[in-house]
Structure formats: structure tokens, C-alpha cells
Amino acid sequence: MSERELVRLEVADGVGTIRLDRPPMNALDAALQDGLLRLAAEATERRDVRAVVVYGGEKVFAAGADIKEMAGWSYTDMVDRSVGLQAAFTAVARIPKPTVAAITGYALGGGCELALACDLRFAASDAKLGQPEILLGLIPGAGGTQRLARLVGPSKAKDLIFTGRMVGAEEALAMGLVDRVVPAGAHVYAVAVEWAARFATGPAYALRAAKEAIDRGLSTDLDTGLELERQQFAGLFATEDRATGMRSFIEKGPGKAVFEGR
């Protein structure tokens, strides 16, 4: 099966859905990883995509890497492949638009790491998340030790990674691993699309600036982060949307501006 069949980008009303489709568990083999890398670049470049939902279907988000594929790899095989593995997830994390993972079923190992690469995570109430790589004699290799610790703190990240245990949606919500729990029977994808759709007519460059300031600021000291913020803030005065937003505020009050994304 080709990467284009394993994962695809579907666009409707300004929202792009990166849809994993490798039944039964959406195992993240090399071809699917390559597809993620390509589609993250496409979602970044397309002006008709203003926000992105990452979704694995009604039954499962992604249950991890393809262990059968990896089992026979040598050290040098993994040295070569690990670059592409991290690159795929980093490409998703660097989409300069709001992103949300819509999690059903399992988000384990690489599946959890893919969800961590999104800005927010919405989970069905019966979803399970975790980093079980330790049970294979490994550690997370696609950002789990880094993004998870930054999101939930080092102690909670170590508990999950050291034990390899799965957590339910409510525990994941309590520790900050997910941002919203959707009752079983409801459609978490619809909730994620509803969230993403609010940005379809939003100020695209302001959203991009906010995301870059937050993400890049988290990897540096406060003074450097504040300088990044200052530069992004000042730069937005060159956009049409900034002029539109201020004019609309003065004439009509807050929240009524119609942005063009320019």
C-alpha cells in the first residue's frame, strides 16, 4: 500500500484533516511516516488550510510503531531511519497553524508522540494513551521524552515512560496530557473540527506568530522569549489583518472583524 493510501489530507471549509488509514491499528510504519512528512509540508503551504485536525478514524488513533517492521532492523538501520521518524513528527509540530489531535481508541508509543506534536489533544472518554516503549527495552524515539516532559512535567513523564503504563482519558486530562474529553458515543472528530473551524477565517499571520512565539520561547530563556514575542508583535503591524482588526474594533467593537489571512 502506498503512503498516499496510508495517510491523506482532506480539506473542507478551511480545515485540513490529516487522516491516518492503515487498518487495523494505524501502525506507524516507514511509509506512513513519510506520508506524514509530506502532508505536513502540504498543509503548511496551502492557503486554503487554516487549521489542521490529525485523526485516525473512529476506532483507533495510532497504536504505535510497526514493531514487526522494526524487529529485524540493525543499529545502523535505525540510525538511518530515526532521522526520518523524528522529522515526520517535527514537521507536524511545526505546521504554522492551529493543530488538534482527535484521539479515539489507542494513542500509544508513536501514536502518543504524534498527538504530542499537535497544539491540543481532544480524546474520547474511552481512549487510552501511553508510552510503552520501555516494555520493548526501548525509550520513546519520536519526541516522547521531550514533548511529554515539557507538557506534563518531568515527574509525570517519567512515571509514564518508566512504567510503560496506559492512562485513560480522564487521568490524561487531569495530568494535562489531553485538553478535552468527549463522552463516548459522541464524535471526538466533530468536536475537533468545530474547534479548528473557528480559525478558518482568523488572522492567519497572528495565529502563526502566536504559535511560533510560544513554541520557540519554551526552548529558550525568558529574556530571549520576550524578545521573540516583541519581534513577532511588531511584525504583525505589517499585515492587512492587523489594520482590519483595529479598524473593526474602533468602528464595531471587539470580535466582529472579518479577516482575509493577509
3 given a catalytic annotation: no
- Whole-number Å distance between alpha carbons of 128 and 4: 27
Cα–Cα nearest to 51, from 261, 215, 262: 261
Which residue in the list 31, 133, 143, 157 is annotated as catalytic?
A: 133
65 given a catalytic annotation: yes
227 given a catalytic annotation: no
Which residue in the list 51, 113, 142, 196 is annotated as catalytic?
A: 113
- Whole-number Å distance between alpha carbons of 40 and 16: 10
Which residue in the list 27, 31, 51, 65 is annotated as catalytic?
A: 65
| 172 in Cβ contact with 165 (< 8 Å) | no
> Phi, psi (5° rounding) for residue 60?
-155, 145
What is the helix (H) or strand (E) element at residue 234, kind and residue range? Answer: helix 222-235
133 given a catalytic annotation: yes
Q: Are strands 15-20 and 51-55 parallel, antiparallel or unpaired?
A: parallel
Which residue in the list 14, 16, 109, 110 is annotated as catalytic?
A: 110
Query: In what side-by-side order are the strands of the sheet with 51-55?
Result: 7-12, 15-20, 51-55, 99-103, 120-124, 180-182
| Beta partners for residue 6, in sequence order | none
- The alpha carbon dihedral of 151, 157, 161, 163 has a sign of negative
| 118 in Cβ contact with 151 (< 8 Å) | no
Cα–Cα nearest to 13, from 42, 61, 53: 53
| 212 in Cβ contact with 231 (< 8 Å) | no
Residues noted as catalytic:
65, 110, 113, 133
